[in-house]
Amino acid sequence: MDFLITEFRQYTDWLPNWMVSVGLLVGAVLIGLAIHRFAFGIFKRLVEDKDLFWRSLVSRGRRPMRLTVLTFTVSFASSIAPLAARPAEIIRHVLLLGFILVLGWVAKTALHIWMTVYLRRFKLDAEDNLLARTHVTQSRIAERIAGAMIVIVTVAAMLMTFPAVQQYGVSVLASAGVAGIVLGLALQPMLKNIFAGIQLAITQPIRIDDALIVEGEWGNVEEITSTYVVVKLWDWRRMILPLSYFIENPFQNWTREGSALIGTVMIYLDYSVPVSAIRRRVEEIANESKIWDRRVVNVQVTDFKESVMEIRILVSANNAPKTFDMRCEMREKIIDFVQREYPAALPRLRAEGASNSNGHANGAVAETALRHANFQS
């Protein structure tokens, strides 16, 4: 190596040192870019027929690979360039920063690749995906927190290469009490969400694809980041909530232990309707439906009102969307049955005018029939 450096300097000793140095550094950058482009082209052709994972792997590794190649080529060029002391020191510092950045970048990319490989075995589109949602949620939160820590450590390591920052760090350590209090107050919102994320990963009150009711809205957990949660609402709107919300506020999780749910349909009918006929028809509707999961179907009279009786219908389905569709189907078909077979059983309200002192009616008889079934969910 020393022989090559000596020979190179003998051939270029007639040129100014700055010109040789600039030429070497520019050439190193161009050679590095060419090497990267050639190698990336080979990798890209190798994974053309592979699945999405390998293609995304090469795509994600493109930039870290470029920076790595440039760091090595420029480092080699700077070692043989006739640089003055100050420029050589600056270039060495830049290369050190680039090396630290490469390490952090590679670590973050490797973390993402490892998580992707690990999560490939779990299918969120399965009918009963509780185990998959558990692993995906824990892995996503862990990846976000670990990624944030990698970024913090990388930036801190790069800053500590500057002498001024090193002196500042020593002074901060000397006054750690006051600085810790000030820093804690300044970073309280961020730290609050980070610790909430750790707590969510361990206790898991929510998971990816969970069906929730938050702030009076129904939706599914679409994404969990290191600081917030994205809930995709039923009408495709997105609700953004901080992680700490799910630690400090009550909410409904319809898929906490499983995806299957029982739907409720309430119908109010006249006392003349035979409940046994309603029960038979409900069972027929459930058996004919492609949505029913063959687990729960039940009809009960749950209350007596002044003019109607309250009938509750329970029916189950595999998940929240199917349960909603099953309830709608049950409402439509049971009201159609009552209208056809027992129209008199629909609730009615009659009002008659009172007679005056002379025995004559002070108004015509008013009769209104409210033919409807009042449903509640």
Task: Using the predicted structure, report yes or no on whether residue 38 has a pLDDT greater than 70.
Answer: yes
Q: Percentage of the chain surpassing pLDDT 70?
A: 77
pTM over 0.85: no
Tell me the C-alpha distance between 261 and 278, whole Å.
22
* pLDDT for position 15: 64
Task: Using the predicted structure, report yes or no on whether residue 354 has a pLDDT greater than 50.
Answer: no
Q: Which one has a higher pLDDT value, 139 or 178?
A: 139
* pLDDT for position 326: 94
Please compute the mean of the pLDDT values over residues 234-242 and round it to a whole number.
92
* pLDDT for position 366: 32
- What's the mean pLDDT when you consider all of the chain? 79
* pLDDT for position 337: 94
The CATH class, in words, for 149-256 is mainly beta
Q: How confident is the model at residue 188 (pLDDT cuts 50, 70, 90)?
A: low
Instruction: Specify the CATH number for 261-351; select among 3.40.190.10, 3.40.640.10, 3.40.50.300, 3.30.70.100.
Output: 3.30.70.100
Task: Using the predicted structure, report yes or no on whether residue 65 has a pLDDT greater than 60.
Answer: yes
Please compute the mean of the pLDDT values over residues 35-63 and round it to a whole number.
81
Q: Percentage of the chain surpassing pLDDT 90?
A: 23
Please compute the mean of the pLDDT values over residues 3-8 and round it to a whole number.
58
Report domain extents, the chain.
Answer: 2-120, 149-256, 261-351
* pLDDT for position 239: 94
* pLDDT for position 189: 66
Q: Which one has a higher pLDDT value, 118 or 191?
A: 118
* pLDDT for position 314: 96
* pLDDT for position 309: 92
